[in-house]
Structure 1
């Protein structure tokens, strides 16, 4: 820096502090007693400024900081463990604050800026969000082991006629809830009753005791579902008419490196552990205010 701008900055700093930092003569410049007393604090301030810049860089590059993330309640334990392991491997310095939240709860926290990234289920209102790849998770049906349809290799929706349906509460994902019922109706199945349930034990209890069925991905089926005398069995649906569509989502313009690392970890882990596949048909994807449909 040239001498005149430097002198001007020193004089401005002296005016702000209200003390003289240097004694100036035509032949030399010496530090004053006040300047000597302030020198150590000045050095500490500069060091802290450098540390602040370095910390900001690490946060920006996803090497440290706090990431508030959410996963849906119905995700299998193996998938959750795989996501956490993959994220920690690539971002060990980032503190991950993980929450179990439905899609509706995630959207509310995105709006209130209480969540950085999450795994949402479509269709939902994606206004103001950016999305990772959409992954498809085909659904089968959980039904009593003694049901006639349990003897089938694949179960048509119409074969469930007469049974009630255990479905997640509509408040958790209204558009998806309605889409499931509409798909059932188109397939010839109108549930005798619709009961609300999310927890695995509660859903299985209703299937066993309430003449009901429930839709579930293969990876969340009970371990005994394949046994020949199981109380509850899991069977694929003929024609795969139902599927959950998931994608990692985050507020538009706020996707830093840590968010990108979580999105990558979640997509890879779900691909490998939850039998998910990329949902990418040749036809374009049209996004609507409260839903996502292939047209």
Structure 2
């Protein structure tokens, strides 16, 4: 392009910041590679050939695409463009999801966010297979090979039939739930958390008569109403107060706040680029503002427990 526009090797070399002989050699090498003559040379001037004129259009397009490619790479590097594959656990309320997405898009409009509803176990598996870039996981779990954002805590309460004795408490002691089944997410979704919840229940005087599995709000509601069962959930997971209370169910906090969801953003170690950081920050802000999550410094390590401890 420079030689064609200047019609002079000396001026083109000066424009490109190089010596004239290497430029002449590169033009000759390009002509050999393309199999056509690009310029007619005399001692006084350089004239572009017909073939060179035709290929000059293609050359300009290639250079423009090259510059566009480099600009896109810089945006991806800086977290401004590209695709980010992210996972969220099923218990994250819709209001939190909406706040996270809005925050992320406002700050990083050029970056496409591909959200997947995945349990902690599924997220860990996808990290290992390189099919997920970042996620919001439950603790405790195996975090080897991962980097983590701040750990946030959401207190768990209990969803129970309105006409039960325990519903009369402002804060429900776990021991008062004796005789009720417990509805939990399937153990495969977060096995260490599952065992940790049952261990804590047992230590606080509540060993469920049976554990039933369910996650969908309507399904869980049906089990609570029909199976003499209770479910654990956070306050933000309950429908917003519109003046129409559920006539059959009530949510109460647990006395002493013994149970909680603990979350943090997580991503494979060494892959925390700007896009991942943007998601982690948006998720943390959304949990704090919509779900009442607070920073958590656990009194004990979030370690992996023996799977049968809650039976002891």
Q: TM-score, normalised by structure 1?
A: 0.89
CA distance in 2, matches of 1:264, 1:110: 19
**For 2:186 and 2:244, how far apart are their aligned partners in 1?**
30
The answer for the alignment partner of 2:218 in structure 1 is 201
Residues 208-287 of structure 1 correspond to what in structure 2 (within 5 A)?
208-222=225-239, 230-280=247-297
Report the CA distance shift for 1:260/1:289 in structure 2 as closer, same or farther (over 3 A): farther
Aligned to 2:140: 123
Given the superposition, is the C-alpha separation of residues 93 and 229 from structure 1 closer, same or farther in structure 2, using an over 3 Å criterion? closer
Q: Of 141, 144, 150, which aligns to 1:133? A: 150
C-alpha distance 287-21 of structure 1, shift in aligned 2 (>3 A): farther
Q: Find the counterpart in structure 2 of residue 63 from structure 1.
A: 80
| Equivalent residue, structure 2, for 1:30 | 47
Q: How much has 1:287 moved relative to structure 2? A: 6.3
Take 1:155 and 1:49, find their aligned partners in 2: how far apart are those partners?
A: 64
In structure 1, what is the Cα distance between the partners aligned to 2:97 and 2:228?
32
Q: What is the match of residue 152 of structure 1?
A: 169
Kindly indicate whether residue 104 of structure 2 is the aligned counterpart of residue 87 of structure 1.
Answer: yes
Computed over aligned residues only, the root mean square deviation of the Cα atoms, in angstroms, reads 2.6
Counterpart of 2:121 in 1: which secondary structure? helix
Residues 284, 207 of structure 1: alpha-carbon distance in 2 compared, 3 angstrom cutoff: closer
Equivalent of residue 168 in structure 1, options 163, 178, 185: 185
Contact 1:125 1:290 in 2 (8 A): no
Structure 1 residue runs of 5 or longer lacking an equivalent are none
| Residues 165 and 284 of structure 1: CA distance in aligned 2, closer, same or farther (over 3 Å) | closer
> How many Å apart are 1:220 and its aligned residue?
1.2
Distance (Å, rounded) in 1 between the aligned partners of 2:233 and 2:257: 12
Distance 1:229 1:168 in 2: 22
Question: Aligned residue for 2:202?
Answer: 185
Q: Distance in 1 between matches of 2:292 and 2:267?
A: 23
Measure how far apart 1:286 and its partner are: 6.8
Are residues 288 and 36 of structure 1, via their aligned partners in 2, closer, same or farther at CA, if it must alter by over 3 Å? farther
Q: More deviation in 84-93 or 18-27?
A: 18-27
Please, which moves more after superposition, 51-60 or 165-174? 51-60
TM-score by length of 2: 0.84
* Alpha-carbon distance in structure 2 between the residues aligned to 1:289 and 1:110: 22
Larger radius of gyration: 2
CA distance in structure 1 between the partners assigned to 2:114 and 2:69 by the alignment: 23
Cα distance change on mapping 1:166 and 1:243 into 2, 3 Å: same
8 A Cα contact 2:214 2:220, kept in partner? yes
Aligned to 2:34: 17
Distance of 2:171 and 2:296 partners within structure 1: 22
Q: Which residue in the other structure is 2:5 paired with?
A: none
> Structure 2 regions of 5+ residues with no counterpart?
1-17, 308-312
Secondary structure at the aligned position of 1:248 is classed as strand
State whether residues 196 and 305 of structure 2, in contact with CA within 8 Å, keep that contact through their aligned partners in structure 1: no
Question: How far apart are the structure 1 equivalents of 2:305 and 2:180?
Answer: 33
Q: How many residue pairs are counted as aligned between the two chains?
A: 290
CA offset at residue 123 of structure 1?
1.6
